[in-house]
Structure 1
Amino acid sequence: IPFGVQIWLFLAFALAFAIKVPMFPFHTWLPDAHVEAPTAGSVILAGVLLKMGTYGFLRFNLPLFPNAWEYFTPMFLYLGIIGILYGAWVAMVQTDVKKLVAYSSVSHLGFIVLGMFAMTVTSMQGGILQMINHGVSSGALFLAVGMIYERRHTREISEFGGVTRAMPVFSVFFMIICLSSLGLPGTNGFVGEFLILVGSYQSVPVFTIIATVGIIFAAAYLLWMFRRVMFGPLTEKNRSLTDLDGREITIMIPIIVMIFWIGIYPSTFTQKTEKTVVA
């Protein structure tokens, strides 16, 4: 395909995929969609649908328009970094738990964009693995928020407090999911981000160093939210909350297993993508 044609076709595909990811500055629909969607809709959106955008970049744009991909790499690296930092900064000031998780998705997907466009084997493997990780962790966060919303009928962080005393089993699950999302070693989130950063540092060290700030902010807003919701004095409205029932625990256990399985044995997944990435 002639280079000039590649440019236009790449941009046409990229616009559609960037909205789907969503990448900055095409992200504005995502928080509103999550807030309006029921729990099942948010879980499917975060767990599966957003990754169709990043998968589209790798499945269509890279093999079909390789010269245009190389030409636009700096621009998409900048957009990825902006997405990481912007998503994290905005998440830090949210008062609605669901909006906080939605903006954290924008930040995490920025890491996937960085991994894809850094164009090293390690970073691209990390990007693909992080697509799976984000689906598990963010989907689980929305599921957990939905479980507590069904009991309390509010998502305002200020309305919670002391939940760990009323819902101890839920608190353990929620803690593991939050630690997974912020990238604690031993969980799935750490492996994906680590591979992306190690691989990206080989080709774009400055972008990689800036991206690490996003990890620090992720720890800040997730731990701040967890502390506000789970600890502190138990208010009267939260005293009557019931803990997870058998059905909800059964739903949560496979997610927790996936979090630690990918975190401890990532080779199960990276071996399946290695040949494709190297090619």
Structure 2
Amino acid sequence: MNQLGFPILTLTLLVPMLGAIACLFADAKAARWVALIATLVNFAIGIVLWAGYQIGGPQWQFQEHIGLFGSFGWSLGIDGIALMLIELSVFLMPICILASWQAIEKRVPEYMAAFLFMETLMLGVFEAQDLFLFYIFFEAGLIPMYLIIGIWGGAERIYASYKFFLYTLLGSIVMLIAMLWMANYAHSTSIPVLMATNFPVHVQTLLFLAFFCSFAVKMPMWPVHTWLPDAHVQAPTAGSVILAGVLLKMGGYGFIRFSLPMFPQASAQLFWLIALLSSVAIVYTSLVALVQQDMKKLIAYSSVAHMAFVTFGLFAFNRQGLEGSLLVMLSHGLVSGALFLCVGVVYDRLHTREIARYGGVANNMPRYAVFFLLFTMASVGLPGTSGFVGEFLSMMGIYGASTWAAFFATTGIILGAAYMLYLFRRVAQGPLDKPDVAAMSDLSPRELLLLAPIAAVVMWMGVYPESFMAPMRKDVGYVLSRVNPAWPGGDSRLAKGAAKPAAEPVSGEGAR
């Protein structure tokens, strides 16, 4: 169903692609403006897409299909979950271009083209309705980020870029084999068809593990997370923003689009694996974050801990867990991106990310300190910010699935507050006794333009989360209708003597 009457999803892919080609034939100044205009146009298209989405309407909307060969074709369409991740992507991209306005001085046209090409591929992941079209977008997205880290990154950029590429590519080879088997079994490459296909129970475990190899690396989950801190530290500021803001979310999107609805029995049987890895990730990476001396590394390890909340919530097999994990994904994309921008602001002035080199910047950079404090509190989960709503719902869902998992998740919240408040205190508070820090100027108008929109959305999501939950609610109900029959029930329910929950409705009043 395409209620707007024109291929708007194809347009969202075409605009940045054409912008990328134009950048390659422009000089540095023109390339910056071409990239900014292209991302702003796509952001405007994203607003039209959100406004035209029918909440409570058909599951798949804005569908487009052109057959190419066999069952494979140019097949696009979105549900509410994909819509919200598309909005996150088109919102962050103009901010990334502005963040690179002065920081990138060499090979500017190629840099801008790489970012626009990456936007096309990211949006394609969320819009693809053909299994192999999804795989093409999913894997091709590695290329521009590999180039961004390898060419415009820090001193160890070659090592970090190779590690990023190899980790994420190797994890997806097994997934491709599983996709070929699924397409042969179902005689279709349509993702909506495959989501409704009941694969044999004895095969589901192997298929689940094949997809898990790819999505766990992309999230990333412990212990395949080690590429992330290196990639963040070496990437330019805008690269870190889009890596944390959108690329990590592809793993969570894969779990909720493929693993849960397509392999529900395997998802239930392997809950112990997800719970174990997520528990270790939350505690271990939070403790590692506490001892970091590099601001980017601290935020990178915090991302691993926050994404463990996502996997916990996704596999809690209840509405609170699923909705909470989706909100955590959106909130983390905003907050972690903003925190990396905050690091970039002071790095541009002092050219170091070492925490000990700062201190007392609230005295001479009060506007910066206010934004930094807001995003720190959102990362901690302060009520009234986006971080609170998602973590609260996730915790409710996790407790419904496993009281032990809820215990480790709570530990992560406590440790998260410790390392984020430690970071803010060391950077912004205390005496201003370093001359070079005292000479740093406050936020420029361009930097205010970077941080203010994110701050506004963080507060909006914290005060009125229904704006973001409403489009996804019906699709969460569909996923629950697939997994609930396979779920034996969590220990907290059994302690109360409650019965196994019935499948969630996917239409009508109950879905709303």
Asked whether the two chains share a fold, i.e. TM above 0.5, the reply is: yes
Deviation at 1:274, TM superposition (A): 1.1
Aligned residue among 467, 489, 509 for 1:268:
467
Tell me which amino acid in the other structure corresponds to 1:254: P
When the two structures are aligned, how many residues end up with a matched partner? 279
Name the residue aligned to 1:104.
302
Q: Is the aligned partner of 1:72 residue 2:275?
A: no
Deviation at 1:172, TM superposition (A): 0.5
Aligned residue among 366, 370, 382 for 1:168:
366
How far apart, CA to CA, are the structure 2 residues paired with 1:260 and 1:89?
28
Deviation at 1:10, TM superposition (A): 1.0
How far apart, CA to CA, are the structure 2 residues paired with 1:272 and 1:224?
37
Q: Is the aligned partner of 1:251 residue 2:458?
A: no
Q: Is the aligned partner of 1:63 residue 2:261?
A: yes
User: Residue by residue, what CA displacement relative to the aligned partner does 1:215-259 show, whole Å, maximum 9, x if unpaired?
Assistant: 111111111111111111211120110111111101111101111
Tell me which amino acid in the other structure corresponds to 1:227: R
SS in 1 for 2:389: helix
Aligned residue among 202, 207, 220 for 1:9:
207
Tell me which amino acid in the other structure corresponds to 2:314: M
User: Residue by residue, what CA displacement relative to the aligned partner does 1:73-98 show, whole Å, maximum 9, x if unpaired?
Assistant: 11101111111111111100000000
Aligned residues of 1:77 and 1:118 also touching (Cα < 8 A): no
SS in 2 for 1:86: helix
Tell me which amino acid in the other structure corresponds to 1:223: L
Q: Is the aligned partner of 1:197 residue 2:395?
A: yes
How far apart, CA to CA, are the structure 1 residues paired with 2:400 and 2:359?
44
Aligned residues of 1:80 and 1:113 also touching (Cα < 8 A): yes
SS in 2 for 1:118: coil
Q: Matched residues, percent identical?
A: 51
Q: Is the aligned partner of 1:129 residue 2:349?
A: no
Q: Is the aligned partner of 1:35 residue 2:223?
A: no
Deviation at 1:99, TM superposition (A): 0.2
Q: Is the aligned partner of 1:214 residue 2:214?
A: no
Q: Is the aligned partner of 1:183 residue 2:381?
A: yes
Aligned residues of 2:215 and 2:252 also touching (Cα < 8 A): yes
Q: Is the aligned partner of 1:241 residue 2:435?
A: no
Instruction: Answer with 1 or 2: which has the greater Rg.
Output: 2
How far apart, CA to CA, are the structure 2 residues paired with 1:205 and 1:226?
32
CA RMSD of aligned residues (A): 0.9
Deviation at 1:181, TM superposition (A): 0.5
Q: Which has the higher helix share?
A: 1
TM-score, normalised with respect to structure 1: 0.98
The answer for unaligned runs of 5 or more in structure 1 is none
How far apart, CA to CA, are the structure 2 residues paired with 1:8 and 1:206?
27
How far apart, CA to CA, are the structure 2 residues paired with 1:206 and 1:35?
33
Runs of 4+ more than 4 Å apart:
none
Larger relative contact order (CA 8 Å, sep ≥ 6) = 1
